[in-house]
C-alpha cells in the first residue's frame, strides 16, 4: 500500500458519438497523467448518451463484449500513460443478457477486474431495469497497483450496504461512475434538495466507513429521444472527499471538468483509530438487514 | 398515522445538578408545548454531566432504575403538557449492570418503550465501555400516538445498519440524543471536519432511508474531573432534517436552544416513491454485513 494515491476524475457531457466522447476523454486522461494522476475515474456510460430515457430494443446495439473494443482501447491508453483507469461500459454478456459494468484497467494495459452494477433503478427518465440485468458478482474491491478499489455504479451510491461491504473487504477508496440529473419541471427547491441528497449520501458513506470517495457524474442536457419527456439536465457536481467526508475537490454543475486530488491513506488510518466504527459493529444484531422489510 | 408531526428538541448545557438541569428542561418543554410541539427530544444524559471523561466507580451512583424518579417525573410532565417526550437516562438494571437507555413517555404519562444504546464507544474523553453494557434489546421503533419512533443514541449515529433496521421496521423518524464535542487541542480544520462528519453521517441516514432525522446534542464546556484532559467543548449543532436530508432547523454550536419543526410524513411517502431505495436492496448479496471483516 502506498501512503497516498494521486487521483483524478473526468466529468464530461455527451458529445454526439462514442468516437467524439472517447477522443475528448483521452485528451483529459493525458492531462490527468501529465499532472501526476495515478488513478482516473470516468463517468457512467461515458462512451455514449445516457440511453435509458426510453425503452427501445435498438439501444442494445450500443452494448459490447468485455473485453471488447472500448475496454481494449482504454487499456492501451492506460498502458501508454501508465495510469489506472476505471471505466463504465454497457456490457453484452449474451443475447438478452446485458449489464452495466465497470472495468478496471491497469497501467500495464491489462484488465484486472470488473464490477457489474448490483442495484438497478427504474423511474421516469431512468428506465434501467429494461436494459441492465442486476449484477451477479457481489461487492468485491479490485486490487490494483495503487490500492484496492471499491468500484460501485450510480444507483449503488444510495446504499450504505454496498459501501460497507466494500470497506469490510478492505477497499482503500470508493469509486462511483454515475449519471444523474434534474427534471427541469421540478421546483428549484426540489432540485436543490435532490442534488444535495446525492452528495450527502455519498459523503455519508465516506464518514461511516472512514474511507475516501470519488464520484464522477455527467453534465449537460440530454433530450428525451421520444420527445415526450423533458430530458435530463445532468447536474455534474462530481467530487472527491476524504474519510471524514471532507471535500478535496468539487466540480461545477454545468461544464466538463477534470478534478484532481491526493488521497492520503495515512489519514484514513488515523481517522479510523480515533473513530473506530468497525470495532463496535453489532454483528450479532444485524440479521434483519437480510430482509426486504421487517413486517 | 397523522400527516405531520410537530416536533422540537432541547439543546442544553450542564447546569451543575440534576435538579437544575431538569428545571431548565421543564421550562423549555413548556415552551415547546405552548408552541404546538407534539414530540420533544432531549439530549443524551440530560439530567447530569457527561461523566464518561474518567473511569470512576462512584459515577455509577448517578444511575437510576427505569421506571424510576426521572422517568416518572418526565412522565408526569408529558401528561401535564400532553406531549410525547424522548429522554436519555443512565439505567441501573442490576448491581454491575448499567445501560445508556432512552425512554419514550406518552402524553398520558405512561412509558411506552425504551431503547438501550447498542453501539458503545470508547476513546479518549468518552470512556463509555466502562459504564454502559451494550444494549440487548435490538433495534425496534417505538409506537406512540404521534408515530413510530426510531430512537437511537449517540454512537449509533455513525452506523447505517442501525438507521436501516429502524427504517425497515417502519420508523417514521429517527431520533438521536447525543453528546459529542471537540478536543480544543485539535486544529480548527480537524474540528470543522469532525463536526461536519457528524452532521453528514446523520443526514446521510435520512437520505438513504427517506426518513426525517432529529439529533439533539449538548453544548457548553465540561471540564475533565481528573484535571488531566482538556475537557470537552460540546459542539451543539443539533438539527432536524427531512427525508432528503434537507435541514428544517439547525442550532448554534455554543448556546442552549429550543428547535422546532414540522415533519411532513406525506413528503416521506413522495420521496420514497420517486427514489424507492427499499425496493432495490440486494438482500441476496448482503450476508457479509454480519461479519466483523471480510478477510
Return the residue of A nearest to B189 by Cα.
A246
Q: What share of chain A in percent tops pLDDT 90?
A: 99
**Residue B2 pLDDT exceeds 90:** no
Contact across the interface for B160 and A201, Cβ inside 8 Å: no
CA A56 to chain centre: 24
- Cβ of B185 under 8 Å from any chain A Cβ? no
Measured between alpha carbons, how far is A150 from A152 in angstroms, rounded to an integer? 6
Q: Is residue A268 part of a domain?
A: yes
Q: What share of chain B in percent tops pLDDT 90?
A: 99
* DSSP letter (8 states) at residue B283: G
Dihedral (Cα; A135, A137, A141, A144), 10-degree rounding: -100
For B284-291, what is the mean pLDDT?
Answer: 98
Q: Is residue B255 part of a domain?
A: yes
- Cβ of A75 under 8 Å from any chain B Cβ? no
**Residue A221 pLDDT exceeds 80:** yes
The chain-wide mean pLDDT, for chain B, equals 97
Strand pairing report for B181-182 and B232-235? antiparallel
Backbone angles phi, psi at A265, to 5 degrees: -70, -20
User: For chain A, what is the radius of gyration of the CA atoms?
Assistant: 18
This complex has an ipTM of 0.97
Domain count, chain B: 1
> What's the N-to-C CA distance of chain B in angstroms?
44
For A196-216, what is the mean pLDDT?
Answer: 98
Measured between alpha carbons, how far is A251 from A259 in angstroms, rounded to an integer? 7
- Cβ of A170 under 8 Å from any chain B Cβ? yes
Return the residue of A nearest to B197 by Cα.
A244
Contact across the interface for A280 and B205, Cβ inside 8 Å: no
Whether the Cβ atoms of residue B14 and residue B148 lie closer than 8 Å to each other: no
Whether the Cβ atoms of residue B3 and residue B265 lie closer than 8 Å to each other: yes
**Residue A49 pLDDT exceeds 80:** yes
Contact across the interface for A160 and B158, Cβ inside 8 Å: no
Q: CB-side exposure of A59: number of CA atoms within 13 Å? A: 19
Return the residue of B nearest to A279 by Cα.
B292
* Burial letters A170-185, b for 16+ CB under 10 A, else e: bbbbbbbbbbbbbbee
- Cβ of B285 under 8 Å from any chain A Cβ? yes
Q: Is residue A89 part of a domain?
A: yes
Whether the Cβ atoms of residue B39 and residue B240 lie closer than 8 Å to each other: no
Q: Is the pTM of this model over 0.95?
A: yes
Strand pairing report for A147-151 and B232-235? unpaired
Q: CB-side exposure of B133: number of CA atoms within 13 Å? A: 14
Q: Specify the CATH number for the domain of residue A71.
A: 3.60.110.10
Q: Is residue B290 part of a domain?
A: no
Contact across the interface for A170 and B204, Cβ inside 8 Å: no
Rounded to the nearest angstrom, the minimum Cα separation between A58 and chain B is: 26
Q: Which of B168, B200, B205 to mutate to test the interface with A (most CBs of A within 10 A)?
A: B200
Q: Is B117 a catalytic residue?
A: yes
Rounded to the nearest angstrom, the minimum Cα separation between B159 and chain A is: 6
Rounded to the nearest angstrom, the minimum Cα separation between A88 and chain B is: 21
For A177-185, what is the mean pLDDT?
Answer: 97
Q: Is B52 a catalytic residue?
A: no
- Contacts of residue B283, defined as CB under 8 A and 6 or more positions apart, other chains included, come to A289, A290, A291, A292
Q: If phi over 0 gives left and psi between -120 and 50 gives alpha, with beta otherwise, what is residue B231?
A: left
- In a 3-state reduction of DSSP, which class is residue B43? coil
**Residue A1 pLDDT exceeds 70:** no
Active-site residue (options: B6, B44, B91, B128): B44
- Contacts of residue B99, defined as CB under 8 A and 6 or more positions apart, other chains included, come to B90, B91, B93, B116, B117, B132, B133, B135
Q: Is residue A217 part of a domain?
A: yes
Measured between alpha carbons, how far is B116 from B93 in angstroms, rounded to an integer? 11
Whether residue A21 has a cis bond before it, omega within 30° of 0: no
Contact across the interface for A289 and B294, Cβ inside 8 Å: no
- Cβ of A294 under 8 Å from any chain B Cβ? yes
Return the residue of A nearest to B141 by Cα.
A294
Q: Is residue A124 part of a domain?
A: yes
The pLDDT score that the predictor gives to residue B41 is 98
What is the DSSP code string of chain A?
--SEEEEEEEE----SSHHHHHHHHHHHHHHHHHTT-SEEEEPTTTTS--GGGS--GGGGGG-B-SSSHHHHHHHHHHHHHT-EEEEEEEEEEETTEEEEEEEEE-TTS-EEEEEE--S---BTTB-HHHH-PPPSS-S--EEETTEEEEE--GGGGG-HHHHHHHHHTT-SEEEEE---EE-TTS-HHHHHHHHHHHHHHHHHHHHHHT--EEEE--EEEE--TTSSS--EEEE---EEE-TTS-EEEE--SSS-EEEEEEEEHHHHHHHHHHS-GGGG--GGG-GGGGSS---
For B8-33, what is the mean pLDDT?
Answer: 98
Q: Which of B59, B45, B108 is nearest to B82 (CA)?
A: B108
Return the residue of B nearest to A117 by Cα.
B282
**Residue B134 pLDDT exceeds 60:** yes
Active-site residue (options: B6, B117, B216, B222): B117
Q: CB-side exposure of B246: number of CA atoms within 13 Å? A: 18
Size of interface A-B (CB pairs under 8 A): 177
Query: What would the pLDDT profile of A3-37 be if each residue is shown by its tens digit?
Result: 999 999 999 999 999 999 999 999 999 999 999 99
Instruction: Name the residue range of residue B176's domain.
Output: 4-277
Query: What would the pLDDT profile of B91-101 be if each residue is shown by its tens digit?
Result: 999 999 999 99
| Residues paired with A200 in a beta bridge | none
Select the residue of B169, B203, B287 nearest A290 (Cβ to Cβ): B287
Measured between alpha carbons, how far is A246 from B34 in angstroms, rounded to an integer? 40
- Contacts of residue B95, defined as CB under 8 A and 6 or more positions apart, other chains included, come to none
Q: Which of B94, B143, B95, B88 is nearest to B116 (CA)?
A: B88
Contact across the interface for A282 and B245, Cβ inside 8 Å: no
Measured between alpha carbons, how far is B46 from B86 in angstroms, rounded to an integer? 11
**Residue B146 pLDDT exceeds 90:** yes
CA B164 to chain centre: 16
Q: Which of 95-134 (A) contact B at CB < 8 A?
A: 118-121, 123, 134
Catalytic residue set of A: 44, 117, 154
Contact across the interface for A155 and B274, Cβ inside 8 Å: no
Q: Which of 50-69 (B) contact A at CB < 8 A?
A: none
Q: Which of 13-32 (B) contact A at CB < 8 A?
A: none
- Cβ of B187 under 8 Å from any chain A Cβ? no
Query: What would the pLDDT profile of B171-182 be if each residue is shown by its tens digit?
Result: 999 999 999 999
Contact across the interface for A286 and B121, Cβ inside 8 Å: no
pLDDT interval class at A97 (50, 70, 90): very high
Query: What would the pLDDT profile of B45-92 be if each residue is shown by its tens digit?
Result: 999 999 999 999 999 999 999 999 999 999 999 999 999 999 999 999
Q: Is residue A162 part of a domain?
A: yes
Q: Is residue B293 part of a domain?
A: no
- Cβ of A200 under 8 Å from any chain B Cβ? yes
Measured between alpha carbons, how far is B44 from B177 in angstroms, rounded to an integer? 5
Whether residue B120 has a cis bond before it, omega within 30° of 0: no
pLDDT interval class at B204 (50, 70, 90): very high
Q: Which of A239, A182, A180 is nearest to A215 (CA)?
A: A239
* DSSP letter (8 states) at residue B98: E
Measured between alpha carbons, how far is B54 from B95 in angstroms, rounded to an integer? 20
Amino acid at each position: 500500500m502506498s501512503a497516498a494515491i494521486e487521483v483524478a476524475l473526468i466529468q464530461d457531457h455527451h458529445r454526439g458519438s462514442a468516437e467524439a466522447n472517447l477522443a475528448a476523454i483521452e485528451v483529459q486522461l493525458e492531462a490527468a497523467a501529465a499532472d501526476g494522476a495515478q488513478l482516473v475515474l470516468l463517468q457512467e456510460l461515458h462512451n455514449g448518451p445516457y440511453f435509458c430515457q426510453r425503452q427501445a430494443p435498438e439501444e442494445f446495439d450500443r452494448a459490447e463484449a468485455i473485453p471488447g473494443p472500448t475496454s481494449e482501447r482504454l487499456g492501451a491508453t492506460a498502458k501508454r500513460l501508465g495510469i489506472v483507469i476505471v471505466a463504465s461500459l454497457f456490457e453484452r454478456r449474451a443475447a438478452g443478457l446485458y449489464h452495466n459494468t465497470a472495468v478496471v484497467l491497469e497501467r500495464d494495459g491489462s484488465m484486472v477486474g470488473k464490477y457489474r452494477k448490483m442495484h438497478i433503478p427504474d423511474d421516469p427518465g431512468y428506465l434501467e431495469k429494461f436494459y441492465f440485468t442486476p449484477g451477479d458478482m457481489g461487492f468485491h474491491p479490485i486490487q490494483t497497483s495503487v490500492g484496492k478499489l471499491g468500484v460501485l455504479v450510480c444507483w449503488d451510491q444510495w446504499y450504505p450496504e454496498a459501501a460497507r461491504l466494500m470497506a469490510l473487504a478492505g477497499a482503500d477508496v470508493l469509486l462511483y461512475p454515475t449519471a444523474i440529473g434534474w427534471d427541469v419541471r421540478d421546483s428549484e427547491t426540489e432540485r436543490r434538495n435532490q442534488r444535495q441528497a446525492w452528495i450527502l449520501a455519498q459523503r455519508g458513506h465516506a464518514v461511516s466507513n472512514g474511507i475516501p470517495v470519488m464520484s464522477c457524474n455527467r453534465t449537460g442536457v440530454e433530450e428525451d429521444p421520444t420527445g415526450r419527456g423533458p430530458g435530463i439536465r445532468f447536474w455534474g457536481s462530481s467530487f472527491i472527499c476524504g474519510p471524514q467526508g471532507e471535500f478535496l475537490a468539487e466540480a461545477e454543475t454545468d461544464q466538463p471538468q477534470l478534478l484532481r486530488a491526493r488521497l492520503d491513506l495515512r489519514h484514513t488510518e488515523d481517522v479510523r483509530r480515533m473513530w473506530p466504527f468497525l470495532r463496535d459493529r453489532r454483528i450479532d444484531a444485524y440479521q434483519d438487514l437480510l430482509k426486504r422489510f421487517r413486517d
